[in-house]
């Protein structure tokens, strides 16, 4: 038997080893693959968690910024809140602006004063800024918080309520004055009726007595054998005397009736009453005239008597054949015609009064009786220009003495409805006028030494309400016989030209009640501040 050959190649052990190796390698590969896949998922989850954290932190920072805006607006913030919002301004400006807008949208039109809720940081962000850097950072809080603005609202309400009550009191006083005037009119009518009855009785008694005397005279004449003609002559003389008395009684009766009519129906255009203290004869003596005309803009002045003259003093120019009497009479007729035609609207004083040719202003005093002046205005510069021999007038021209006045209310010189009382004082100074008393429109106090026997006029601002200190000064003037004159009329009579159609005086910006409170509304500009009157020289 042949010998069996020895087998070559891998044996069973080797095959098992290879099988194990293949299986192990496959398992390791699968395990490794699965491990890498889990790691990738873990990285994705970690990345998402980081993003979620960032979003949460951003949301937290935004809500913190919103909270800080609300806290600061309410005035309840901590110092750290201000630092936080200043630091967050660059990154979270959109959120800050959005929260600020929510507040202001809810309060649109409710803030009582301009820029009350002005917020420098918000303004910077709205303009594209980043909240500043270093020491140049804008303020992180508004000018005023919402609670402080609410306090202003409360104060405004209380002030408005007080003014309403004051107005109600003024209305009650006006009603009381009207009732008193009605009572006086009734009393005057009763007195008139009584006087009329007395006059009628006296007249009838005189006629009866005259008839009886005549009859007695005739009887006596017949008895005495005298001629009737001689007795009739005596009777005629006595009759003439009695008729004279009767005519005087009739004149007294007519005068009394006219006074009653004027008392019951006062004429607002009665210049004789409003200017009863003006001594027109004395003014005529003190008038001056245009002595010469250098050119179309300058003239020389000559006065009839020595006067206190000053640069800036103004005068009304009239034709040589006119006087202040004719001006006032013409003004009376114009006002009456205006009221008959357009009674609902006030007429501007001295408008379209053809008696007035224009105004001149002294530019240089050349002596006690003379001066140079410039032409301020002319009514008819071509047809009837200011010429030589024209008369000039100023009601404050008082020789070597100085007029004394008082004033109250808004004296408006430029037509904007606000007081120009400081400039008005300078005009009075130029005209040599002394101010005895005036009403301070800021404090509501009456200042100066006070109205007295030397005070000639109380100059009253147009439409001044008769309440508070204004009413007090008017009552004081009436008690002392001081004439009350409208400021615009007074200024026209001293030669000052005023703008036409002025805005109504804004008494809401003043204090005329006298309670010491600051005026409400927009304060007048600095140029209109009330100032004390000038130093009183030569009193």
Backbone angles phi, psi at 183, to 5 degrees: -65, -40
Closest CA to 531 of 411, 433, 441, 452: 441
Q: If DSSP states are collapsed to H, E and C, what string results for 198-249?
A: HHHHHHHHHHHHHHHHHHHHHHHHHHHCCCHHHHHHHHHHHHHHHHHHHHHH
In sequence order, the 6+-apart residues with CB closer than 8 A to the CB of 252 are 199
**Same domain for 171 and 295?**
no
Q: Is residue 199 part of a domain?
A: yes
Question: Which residues of the chain carry a pLDDT beneath 70?
Answer: 1-11, 35, 108-115, 134-135, 221-233, 248, 251-252, 254-286, 342-347, 397-400, 514-539
Q: Six-digit token pair at 101?
A: 């807008």
Domain boundary, last residue among 215, 235, 266: 266
Q: Six-digit token pair at 261?
A: 């009519």
Radius of gyration of the chain (CA): 49
**Same domain for 125 and 154?**
no
Quick one: CA dihedral 54, 55, 57, 62, positive or negative?
Answer: positive
Q: Is residue 2 part of a domain?
A: no
**Same domain for 218 and 231?**
yes
In sequence order, the 6+-apart residues with CB closer than 8 A to the CB of 467 are 166, 167, 169, 170, 173, 512, 513
Task: Give the separation between CA 486 and CA 313, rounded to whole angstroms.
Answer: 20
Quick one: CA dihedral 472, 343, 265, 274, positive or negative?
Answer: positive
**Same domain for 137 and 155?**
no
**Same domain for 311 and 439?**
no
**Order of strands across the sheet with 434-439?**
446-448, 434-439, 404-408, 455-460, 483-486
Task: Give the separation between CA 148 and CA 117, rounded to whole angstroms.
Answer: 10
Closest CA to 271 of 332, 336, 337, 338: 332
Domain boundary, last residue among 109, 144, 179: 144
Q: Is residue 1 part of a domain?
A: no
Q: Is residue 116 part of a domain?
A: yes
pLDDT at 451: 92
**Same domain for 204 and 222?**
yes
- Is 438:318 a contact under the CB 8 Å cutoff? no
Q: Six-digit token pair at 105?
A: 């949208």
Is-above-0.75 flag for pTM?
no
Q: Which domain holds residue 435?
A: 402-539
Domain boundary, last residue among 250, 266, 282: 266
Q: Six-digit token pair at 327?
A: 């001006």
End-to-end CA separation in angstroms for the chain: 175
**Same domain for 428 and 531?**
yes
Closest CA to 319 of 386, 390, 258: 390
Three-class SS state of 272: helix
**Same domain for 308 and 224?**
no
Closest CA to 508 of 162, 151, 153: 162
pLDDT at 498: 81
Backbone angles phi, psi at 403, to 5 degrees: -75, 145
pLDDT at 256: 62
Closest CA to 488 of 403, 427, 399: 427
**Same domain for 36 and 50?**
yes
- Calculate ∠ Cα 190-192-195, nearest 5°: 110
Task: Give the separation between CA 483 and CA 486, rounded to whole angstroms.
Answer: 10
Q: Is residue 25 part of a domain?
A: no
Q: Six-digit token pair at 88?
A: 């967050």
Task: Give the separation between CA 528 and CA 227, rounded to whole angstroms.
Answer: 90
Position of tokens 């005309």?
293
**Same domain for 84 and 100?**
yes
pLDDT at 528: 43
What CATH number did the domain enclosing 430 receive? 3.40.50.10190
Three-class SS state of 154: helix
**Same domain for 325 and 453?**
no
- Calculate ∠ Cα 122-123-128, nearest 5°: 95
What CATH number did the domain enclosing 359 receive? 2.40.10.170
Task: Give the separation between CA 398 and CA 424, rounded to whole angstroms.
Answer: 19
Q: How many domains does the chain have?
A: 4
In sequence order, the 6+-apart residues with CB closer than 8 A to the CB of 230 are 221
Q: Is residue 483 part of a domain?
A: yes
Tens of pLDDT, residue by residue over 11-23, are: 677 777 787 788 8
pLDDT at 380: 86
- Is 430:311 a contact under the CB 8 Å cutoff? yes
Instruction: Return left, alpha or beta for 368; rule: phi > 0 is left, psi -120 to 50 is alpha, else beta.
Output: alpha
**Same domain for 390 and 424?**
no
Measure CA 249 to chain center: 53
Tens of pLDDT, residue by residue over 406-438, are: 999 999 888 888 999 888 988 888 888 889 999
Q: Is residue 22 part of a domain?
A: no
Print burial letters for 155-176: b (CB count within 10 Å at least 16), e (below 16). Answer: eeeeeeeeeeebeeebeeeeee
Q: Is residue 5 part of a domain?
A: no
């Amino acid at each position: 038997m042949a010998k069996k050959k020895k087998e070559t190649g891998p044996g069973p052990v080797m095959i098992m080893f290879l099988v194990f190796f293949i299986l192990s390698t496959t398992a390791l590969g699968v395990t490794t693959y699965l491990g890498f896949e889990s790691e990738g998922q873990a990285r994705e989850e970690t990345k998402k968690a980081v993003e979620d954290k960032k979003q949460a932190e951003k949301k937290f920072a935004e809500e913190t910024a919103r909270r800080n805006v609300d806290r600061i607006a309410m005035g309840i913030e901590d110092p750290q809140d201000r630092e936080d919002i200043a630091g967050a301004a660059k990154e979270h400006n959109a959120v800050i602006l959005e929260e600020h807008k929510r507040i202001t949208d809810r309060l649109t039109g409710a803030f009582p004063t301009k820029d009350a809720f002005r917020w420098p940081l918000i303004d910077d962000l709205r303009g594209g800024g980043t909240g500043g850097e270093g020491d140049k950072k804008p303020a992180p809080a508004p000018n005023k918080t919402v609670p402080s603005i609410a306090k202003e609202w409360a104060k405004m309400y209380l002030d408005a309520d007080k003014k309403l009550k004051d107005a109600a009191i003024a209305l009650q006083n006006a009603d009381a004055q009207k009732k008193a005037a009605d009572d006086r009119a009734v009393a005057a009518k009763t007195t008139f009726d009584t006087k009329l009855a007395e006059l009628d009785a006296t007249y009838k008694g005189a006629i009866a007595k005259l008839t009886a005397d005549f009859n007695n005279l005739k009887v006596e004449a017949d008895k005495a054998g005298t001629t009737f003609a001689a007795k009739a002559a005596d009777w005629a003389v006595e009759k003439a005397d009695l008729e004279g008395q009767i005519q005087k009684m009739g004149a007294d009766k007519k005068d009394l009736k006219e006074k009653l009519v004027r008392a019951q129906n006062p004429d607002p255009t009665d210049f004789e009453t409003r200017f009863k203290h003006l001594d027109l004869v004395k003014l005529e003596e003190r008038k001056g005239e245009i002595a010469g005309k250098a050119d179309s803009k300058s003239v020389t002045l000559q006065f009839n008597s020595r006067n206190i003259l000053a640069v800036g003093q103004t005068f009304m120019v009239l034709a040589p054949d006119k006087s202040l009497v004719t001006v006032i009479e013409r003004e009376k007729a114009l006002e009456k015609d205006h009221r008959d035609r357009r009674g609902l609207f006030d007429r501007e004083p001295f408008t379209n009064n053809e008696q007035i040719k224009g105004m001149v202003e002294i530019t240089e005093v050349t002596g006690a009786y003379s001066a140079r002046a410039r032409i301020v205005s002319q009514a008819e510069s071509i047809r009837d220009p200011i010429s030589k021999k024209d008369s000039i007038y100023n009601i404050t021209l008082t020789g070597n003495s100085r007029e004394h006045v008082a004033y109250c209310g808004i004296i408006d010189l430029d037509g904007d409805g606000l007081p120009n009382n400081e400039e008005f004082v300078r005009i009075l100074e130029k005209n040599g006028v002394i101010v005895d008393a005036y009403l301070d429109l800021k404090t509501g106090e009456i200042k100066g030494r006070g109205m007295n026997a030397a005070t000639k006029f109380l100059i009253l601002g147009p439409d001044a309400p008769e309440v508070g200190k204004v009413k007090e000064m008017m009552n004081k003037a009436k008690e002392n016989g001081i004439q009350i004159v409208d400021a615009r009329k007074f200024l026209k009579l001293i030669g000052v030209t005023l703008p036409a159609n002025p805005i109504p005086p804004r008494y809401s910006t003043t204090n005329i009640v006298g309670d010491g409170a600051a005026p409400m509304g927009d304060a007048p500009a600095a140029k209109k501040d009330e100032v004390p009157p000038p130093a009183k020289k030569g009193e």
